[in-house]
Amino acid sequence: MLKTLRKIASVGLVSELPPGPEELLRVRRALDERIVAVLGRALCIRHVDAGSCNGCELEIHALGNPYYNLEGCNIRFVASPRHADLLLVTGPVVKNMEAPLQRVYAAVPHPKLVVALGDCGCTGGMLGECPASLGRVSNVIPVDVAVPGCPPSPVRILQGIVTAISPPV
Amino acid sequence: MPLKRWWDGAHKIAGASSVRGLGVGAEQWLQVASDVADSGGVLHTLWASREPAGDAAVYGAYLTDLGVLVAELALPCGGESVCYPGLEDIFPAASRLQRAAFDLSGVRSSDPDLRPWLNHDAPYEFVRVDGEGVHEIGVGPVHAGIIEPGHFRFSVVGEKVLRLEEHLGYVHKGLEQRFTQLPILQGHRLAARVSGDSAVAFSWAYCQALEGMSGCALPPRAAWLRAVCLELERLANHLGDLGALGNDAGFAFGLAQFSRLKEDLLRAVSAAFGRRYLFDMVVPGGMAVDVSTQAAHALADGVRAVCTETIELRGIYDEHEGVRDRFTGAGCLTPELAARLGVLGLAGRASGQARDARVDLPCAPYTELAVAKIVQQGGDVAARVAVRFEEAQESGRLVRRLLAALPAGEHAVTVAAPAADAIGVGLIEGWRGPVLVALQAGPEGSIRRCHAHDPSWQNWPALEYAILGNIVPDFPLINKSFNLTYSGVDL
């Protein structure tokens, strides 16, 4: 126990300041300005892997590390889409995940925000559209913000999330 | 017939250090499999192909003491439905491979389990467990965390698991078909995305097959830098898993510390290579970028710091009674069962299966490195944690050793596209275990066929056994201790 406490004290606080919004990432619609006021600063995210190679998931996990300290920004991942304000979708949407993704989207209460993550989510990626894959996320559900990268860095993902909840300029 | 006779009669295949191919008939197909099993070898992968004319072939790749033996069974059929002898009685891991091969190529084995695996058009028929008080818990495909999709069907009494049946294939994206649309000199990029957490392993295995077919001599500096990347990938994944395992045992401190160390490592990697994750770093003929002497020193220092802290954290894990209690005895896979199921890689080594391609079938630079093979006999979560702790240290040692003595010279050379119909096999020990890429060239620099295999094919069925008799709430911990890929097996 003493070792654990000593380790916590010696490492100290390593968290960094979150990035600002990035207008370039906004793709679809302007958000109601009240959303930030309605949600406060707490935002609940449900992640759905719709066909990712799991590279994007590694960087989503990194958001939880003490440097990016996602929960310190009042953003957290939730276990059920019914608790979520925002869907974070990775991968091209493959055929076997089309119905599950649509069911998750339907279960999210309004107003639903969707951030498509990674080159696959933005464009279909290397796979594109083929018999087993429907391509980009916006081919299946409406997307508010698309964050390119393979995989996008944690800062870039955070920027995408902040952009999605920020009122348009 | 002993394995040696088959081996001596087989022809050499380009790529990894010791690969041979053997054309067989239907009876020999089964005989080779049982001779491999008798000699202590395992089935690594199985795939099938069908030509537009209707002729088909099925391939079985075995890991043996002599090397990788690829048996090819030609099935000339003129378009009629064909059936080859299934290997599931000899190697249980063959069953899902055969079902997937049917979904992809239409070539059917004699396996009585006819349920589609990758094709989800019809509802899946799970095996039902009957009895007083037995009920089912279905989980997924979308899980309650940041993980890939798959379905788990538990049959339980109270909290005790009587049976677990996995249903995967949700992220099937047609990778094998996509490969055939890419130029062969570009396929490494898709290989890196078979399973993103094993990007270096898969892209190296692909390039190894390709370079072997093209007769490309890899510059020593490129080989050493590839090994640096592979060991960094192993270290990063082990750090992530060690944190997540602590968290699943209720010790959030472990997640905070190890995720911080992993981030430190990724930032050091990014400073040296320009990217946090090493997609597209391994390219045909060498490496996409070189590393300066200064950057190599900085990276070695970063790795040393991470490894030093990992030793300290291991002491804390070992002394924490709650963590020890959750890890010890959970999800036990005995060495006997692991051998029967042909469990590979990290999970295999935690259950006494002493296989590591870096030691058994090494390519450069592993031929010069004397990698320590980490083996435990316990087979429980604690053993898989111990293997990770020790392999993390070993990878740290290897990275520092490699960076301290990088050979001078080119970091990449030009590779010509191989001749049509050339065949190559790459085998690289990724962080989960041995990944294999079998590549066949088409005309004018195209790909006729590419099959990529992750050891999770072997290890997913083993998880169904490891959970038996445990309680449902321990499943996340036990599952994490294997940490298998979905994308890498759904293809």
The domain segmentation of chain A, as residue ranges, is: 17-165
Shared-domain flag, residues B201 and B67:
no
Q: Taking CB atoms and an 8 Å cutoff, what residues of chain A touch B190?
A: 126
* Record: contact A7-B257, CB cut-off 8 A: yes
**Residue B347's domain spans which residues?**
175-454
Residues B89 and B184 in one domain: no
Compare CB distances from A79 to B144, B193, B259 and report the shortest one's residue.
B144
Smallest Cβ distance to A54: which of B141, B177, B487?
B487
Whether A4 sits inside 8 A of B320 (CB atoms) is yes
| B104 and B194 inside one domain | no
Q: Which helix (H) or strand (E) holds A43?
A: strand A43-49
Residues B191, B275, single domain; the answer is yes
Q: How far apart are the first and last CA of chain A?
A: 50
Same domain (yes/no): B356, B224: yes
What does DSSP assign to residue B130?
A: -
**The pair of three-digit structure tokens given for residue B334, joined into one six-digit string:** 């005995």
d(CA B125, CA B268): 48
The set of residues, in sequence order, having a beta carbon less than 8 Å from that of A97 and lying 6+ positions away, is: A48, A49, A50, A51, A91, B141, B149, B170, B171
Contact A55 B319 (CB under 8 A): no
Residues 6+ away with beta carbon under 8 Å from A46: A77, A78, A80, A81, A83, A84, A86, A87, A88, A104, A108
CB contact under 8 A, B195 and A48: no
Alpha-carbon B372 to chain mean position: 19
Question: How is residue A42 written in tokens?
Answer: 């707490």
Do both B291 and B424 map to the same domain? yes
Give B71 to chain A, closest Cα distance, Å.
29
pLDDT at A32: 39
Cβ burial B271-284 (10 Å sphere, 16+ → b, else e): ebbebbbbbbbbbb
CATH of the domain at B25: 3.30.460.80
CA angle at B195 for the pair B102 and B88, rounded to the nearest 5°: 35
Chain B contact present for A94, CB below 8 A: yes
Shortest CA distance from B265: residue in chain A: A62
Residue among A89, A78, A80, A74 at smallest CA distance from A43: A74
The HSE-up count of residue A103 (CA atoms within 13 Å, CB side) is 9
CA distance A122 to A89: 10
pLDDT at A76: 85
Residue B436: per-residue pLDDT: 97
* Cβ-based contacts of A153 with chain B (< 8 Å): 276
Q: What is the mean pLDDT of each run of 10 residues along chain B (491 residues)?
A: 90 93 93 95 95 86 96 77 88 96 92 94 93 92 92 95 96 95 96 97 98 95 97 98 97 96 97 96 96 96 98 96 96 97 97 96 94 96 98 98 95 94 96 97 95 97 96 96 96 91
Tell me: the pLDDT tens digits for B137-195? Answer: 999 899 988 999 999 999 999 999 999 999 999 999 999 999 999 999 999 999 999 99
Indicate the SS3 state at residue B478.
helix
Q: Please indicate whether, in this complex, the C-beta atoms of A11 and B171 are within 8 angstroms of each other.
A: no
Of A47, A94, A104, the CB nearest to B172: A94
- Find chain A residues with C-beta within 8 A of B312's C-beta: 3, 7
Residue B131 belongs to some domain of the structure:
no
CA-angle at B341, arms to B335 and B344, nearest 5°: 75
Please give the Cα distance from B143 to B339 (Å, whole number): 31
Tracing tokens 């020193």 back to the chain, one arrives at B297
Q: What percentage of chain B has pLDDT greater than the value 70?
A: 99
The number of residues in chain B equals: 491
Last residue of a domain, one of B109, B126, B149: B109
Same domain, B104 and B179: no
In a domain, B84, yes or no: yes
Residue B168 forms part of a structural domain: no
Residue B151 falls inside a structural domain: no
Residues of A in contact with B141 (CB under 8 A): 97, 100
Q: What is the DSSP letter of B471?
A: B
CB contact under 8 A, B266 and A62: yes
Can you say whether the dihedral through the CA atoms of A54, A56, A60, A66 is positive or negative? Answer: positive
The rounded distance, in Å, linking the Cα atoms of B428 and B361 is: 9
Same domain, B235 and B350: yes
* Residue of A64, A65, A100 lying closest to B142 (CB–CB): A100
So what's the pLDDT on residue B80?
55
pLDDT along chain A (169 residues), means of 10: 90 79 46 51 87 96 90 84 95 96 95 94 90 94 95 90 76
CA distance B301 to chain A (A): 18
Q: Most B CBs within 10 Å: which of A8, A16, A44, A54, as the mutation test of the B interface? A: A54
**Sign of the CA dihedral with B221 first, then B225, B230, and B232 last:** positive
Give residue-wise pLDDT tens across range B376-425: 999 999 999 999 999 999 999 999 999 999 999 999 999 999 999 999 99
- Rounded distance between C-alpha atoms, residue B228 and residue B371, angstroms: 13
Indicate the helix (H) or strand (E) that contains B437.
strand B434-441
Beta bridge partners of B453: B436
Closest residue, chain A, to B485 (C-alpha): A54
From 3.40.30.10, 3.40.50.12280, 1.10.10.10, 3.40.50.300, which CATH number describes the A17-165 domain?
Answer: 3.40.50.12280
Total number of residues shown for chain A: 169
Q: Which of residues 18-37 of A touch B (CB under 8 A)?
A: none
Select the residue of B173, B253, B315 nearest A127 (Cβ to Cβ). B173
pLDDT given for residue B78 in this prediction: 52
What's the structural domain count of chain B?
Answer: 2
CA-nearest of B186, B179, B159 to B475 is B159
**Domain's final residue, options B56, B78, B109:** B109
In B, minimum Cα distance to A83 occurs at B144
Predicted ipTM of the assembly: 0.94
Q: How far is B253 from chain A (nearest CA, A)?
A: 8
B465: in domain: no
